[in-house]
Chain A
């Protein structure tokens, strides 16, 4: 089947995986049954149920869910390490499920590589031969593949460990080897199956930071599996949340945190430090009063009074942001020359970008009643944020309903 029109690098459509002797049969069952019901009735395990999503080039797409929710199975369906029962997977427009074994091997050798939860290193091979494994199976000469392996080891900070065996390394170092091994073949796509779950919290944080740093340089397309929602929020450009084989929500971390689709998702979001996830673009609202420099001062003043606003945003005809016009400047104009508002503008007012984090917004709005203009990359006004919006975002919908648990704000 040809891929539907999409510019995604990876596209999964209605993917199913059923474990058991007669999976097709289960597929025909009423889709309304739950995983447990199907297991009780037929003895089949529905590991992945009708999952669709797409991953853009250069994106970190995180799949998050509790243990047993089907994450590992899903990610293996993408490289067909596990054969999906039904559905479609396209990578760069190629139908993975239609590939011959040989094509599939070529895909795994050159385009896609994987990092495993328990590292999956080869205990009988030296570090350098572990890292060079992918190149070795491609048939690349020893000198060449060792040179490449050294390069990658350097990159992950393991230069000098080439001739040790995996058993002599700590867990964190072993997973660096795992990452180096995946990087060595220079794949476009990397699949991470809970790579940091087996590590201590401190090491885990360090590895997360390094992964982000690497990604800044490499711009790989990454599917990253985790059961740790905080990790998902930290690493993911977008997150898919799985439960019992199904994807229950897909969105950016802020979207998920702000608007959890189900109670299940809401449970995870409770532990999240919202102020470090939510950004200005999630809380901003359209500015109530927008003026142009040619507007009459009286009209603007009237508008501000009507909306009970302290300042108006001023932009030129092209929509470029010029500055804030505070109400008191209109009431008591310092050097108003009568035909242009330009001279009244505060053009050095603090502005923010759409991805300014909520923590920053709290600091900025703490002492000021004036709205903060949100300026996007094109230097256009995207919206405004003021103290009341920040407050509203900090109070989650759940917490609003459940006032006992309402946290106190300093």
Chain B
């Protein structure tokens, strides 16, 4: 039977949509003409409405600077916290830099072997050797130290908070908007306040990193615990477990894989902002990248960037290795290749090499067991003297179980002893290789030859010109000069209303107006124009690629490693090669944004289509639909929520990157924030930061609400 009511309400929605679209058309094209006839200038937000918020903020900054030594907030909170962090990071740095480099290499190898097997172990060593080889040993370890401290703090705060949030719904609903805000906020926004409150040496960069990296630790701990089936928890309760027993014996162990995934994400996020953190005092690799970017020393920047990428890959594989270990420790069967791809098993030499490696590993394991047994028997004899026979037996089995650990400690101790007798000194000069020169040469070659290929309208120069002349400039001009500001607000409000409904529309209108009040209108329009162009370009590439990879396993398999790599590279590092090719300005920011936002766009489109239930596709085929018909009539409509989720991600990542590219001449709000930071104009930076937050919130909430509406339709 036909459901007339739902049909007619559908029709009503359509009518409303059409009306709104018509209104949008009028606003964009007809009203500006009308406004142009008016005697007053309405294209720019009136200066008279500027709140001049920066004045009180700057006064506050002055007050802070003047009272840092006396105000109780600083004396009893910010300063002690800063001191503690400073102490921690100094200890971590001293420790890492004080350890002889061969011992560090050995430790990395053992850690990799323990977490993920020989492949990860060798990868870790190779990464470290690269860092040393390009002369960035010290910088790398400094970054690692900062990472360690920031990640430890994040986990020390995040995991307990996550546990509490899983326990108390009230806290969960309180935390949720805070975490949302933290995750939509580009990191630039809180650099300035952090700098103001934690102004000692490298402390602000640690704090900023913690703020950035904290949300996944909280979220995934919370999620992991909440995902434990209610029936399992109930079973625990039914046997009279106390809440603590339930948590420790049931919930936490079952949530472990998810929590470990949270740890992995926390580490990756922390690495993601090392370069930005360098803006407020972090040394190490981030600072290298930043400086070479600012001085346009591409070769040097690229080496530091690659070192960061290596560190990201190593930390990613190691932490993922631990996460997987929790799942299936028994999975490493005998005879499985430890280094080479399993598919090479058909080649004799590969088998021979693997045989050797596995024999070596077995020998090492046997040695470790021997060591553990030896230690256990010595310690056990001691215990038996006191009649503690049970304890001695338990000790032996414990030692045996942890024989890898015991063997590793032994090896490290030996290495330390050897290096104490024969000091290893700095990372050997002889192993170093200079790649900056060839890279710089390559870059200048590319500038000369790729910027403009022959007389053809090809190359990065023409592409860049095209983007500027036909995309960025007209759009910026349109938003800044052609459209009167009230119409921009009205238009955005209408769009948001269409996508997400009345509440958000009002919020958006108010938000945009506040941006005007902050005096950030023109900058915001500049940023907006860049975001729109970058989103359009990304969507144009990502959606077709996503569809293609959903329809062809070969395409998906080819794309996967590329996307994996793109997603491990910290956002700022993209800028390095892009700058090489596109010079500074708005375009490199756009290109970097596209590269940054492509992976989730492609992945979510692919996933959405692949997740469409097989039976729906089968039904369509049974009616004789062609592949194309099935795609357009069944798969794409059903995949729409997921694709729109991809669009949401694209928008947010593009925005973050466009803001960052303020550092390389991107203009707009990003530049404003950077300038505020660089010139120590806190008020200006905070005004820009607030405008960024508002813009981010509008974009995020509107696209999310759009996805949710669509999902409801499909249910």
Chain A 43-79, CB within 8 Å of chain B: the 1/0 string? 0000000000000000000000000000000000001
**Nearest CB in chain B: distance from A146 CB, A:** 13
Nearest residue (CB) in B for A134 is B239
In the complex, the answer to whether A107 meets B240 with C-beta atoms within 8 Å is: yes
Interface of B is mostly: helix
- With an 8 A cutoff between CB atoms, is A273 at the interface? no
Nearest residue (CB) in A for B231 is A120
List A contacts of B231 (CB < 8 A).
116-118, 120
Chain B contact patch, size range: 10 to 19
In the complex, the answer to whether B234 meets A134 with C-beta atoms within 8 Å is: no
- With an 8 A cutoff between CB atoms, is A137 at the interface? yes
In the complex, the answer to whether A113 meets B241 with C-beta atoms within 8 Å is: no
Chain A 267-286, CB within 8 Å of chain B: the 1/0 string? 00000000000000000000
- With an 8 A cutoff between CB atoms, is A188 at the interface? no
- With an 8 A cutoff between CB atoms, is B232 at the interface? yes
- With an 8 A cutoff between CB atoms, is B46 at the interface? no
Chain B 240-257, CB within 8 Å of chain A: the 1/0 string? 111001000110011000
- With an 8 A cutoff between CB atoms, is B336 at the interface? no
Select one of B232, B241, B245, B249 contacting A120, CB under 8 A.
B232
In the complex, the answer to whether A109 meets B239 with C-beta atoms within 8 Å is: yes
Chain B 204-245, CB within 8 Å of chain A: the 1/0 string? 000000000000000000000000000110111111111001
Chain A contact patch, size range: 20 to 34
Query: Which residues, 425 to 448 on B, are CB-close (under 8 Å) to A?
Result: none
**Nearest CB in chain B: distance from A310 CB, A:** 59
Nearest residue (CB) in A for B250 is A122
List B contacts of A124 (CB < 8 A).
253-254
List B contacts of A133 (CB < 8 A).
236, 239, 249
List B contacts of A114 (CB < 8 A).
235, 238
In the complex, the answer to whether B234 meets A137 with C-beta atoms within 8 Å is: no
Nearest residue (CB) in A for B230 is A120
Select one of A106, A110, A116, A185 contacting B235, CB under 8 A.
A116
Number of A-B contacts defined by CB within 8 Å? 60
In the complex, the answer to whether A79 meets B238 with C-beta atoms within 8 Å is: yes
In the complex, the answer to whether B234 meets A108 with C-beta atoms within 8 Å is: no
**Nearest CB in chain A: distance from B390 CB, A:** 8
Nearest residue (CB) in B for A178 is B235
- With an 8 A cutoff between CB atoms, is A333 at the interface? no
List A contacts of B238 (CB < 8 A).
79, 81, 108, 113-114, 116, 120
In the complex, the answer to whether B240 meets A106 with C-beta atoms within 8 Å is: yes
Cα distance A117–B236 in the bound complex, in angstroms: 14
In the complex, the answer to whether B240 meets A137 with C-beta atoms within 8 Å is: yes
Residue of A107, A116, A120, A185 ringed by the most chain B CB atoms within 10 A: A120
**Nearest CB in chain B: distance from A165 CB, A:** 10
In the complex, the answer to whether B234 meets A120 with C-beta atoms within 8 Å is: yes
In the complex, the answer to whether A137 meets B245 with C-beta atoms within 8 Å is: yes
Nearest residue (CB) in A for B235 is A120
Query: Which residues, 244 to 275 on B, are CB-close (under 8 Å) to A?
Result: 245, 249-250, 253-254
Query: Which residues, 85 to 115 on A, are CB-close (under 8 Å) to B?
Result: 104-110, 113-114
List A contacts of B249 (CB < 8 A).
122, 133, 136-137
Nearest residue (CB) in B for A114 is B238
Nearest residue (CB) in B for A112 is B238
Chain B 578-601, CB within 8 Å of chain A: the 1/0 string? 000000000000000000000000
- With an 8 A cutoff between CB atoms, is A138 at the interface? yes
- With an 8 A cutoff between CB atoms, is A121 at the interface? yes
Nearest residue (CB) in B for A107 is B240
List A contacts of B250 (CB < 8 A).
122
Nearest residue (CB) in B for A109 is B240
List A contacts of B235 (CB < 8 A).
114, 116, 120-122
Name 30 interchain pairs, CB-CB below 8 A, sorted by A. A79-B238, A81-B234, A107-B240, A108-B238, A108-B239, A108-B240, A109-B240, A113-B239, A114-B238, A116-B234, A116-B235, A116-B238, A118-B231, A120-B231, A120-B235, A120-B238, A122-B232, A122-B235, A122-B249, A122-B254, A123-B254, A133-B236, A133-B249, A134-B239, A134-B240, A136-B249, A137-B236, A137-B239, A137-B245, A185-B239
Write the residues of chain A forming the contact surface with B, with a CB cutoff of 8 angstroms: 79, 81, 104-110, 113-114, 116-118, 120-124, 133-134, 136-138, 181, 185
List of 9 A-B pairs having minimum Cβ-Cβ separation, nearest first: A120-B235, A109-B240, A108-B240, A134-B239, A105-B240, A114-B238, A124-B253, A137-B241, A120-B231
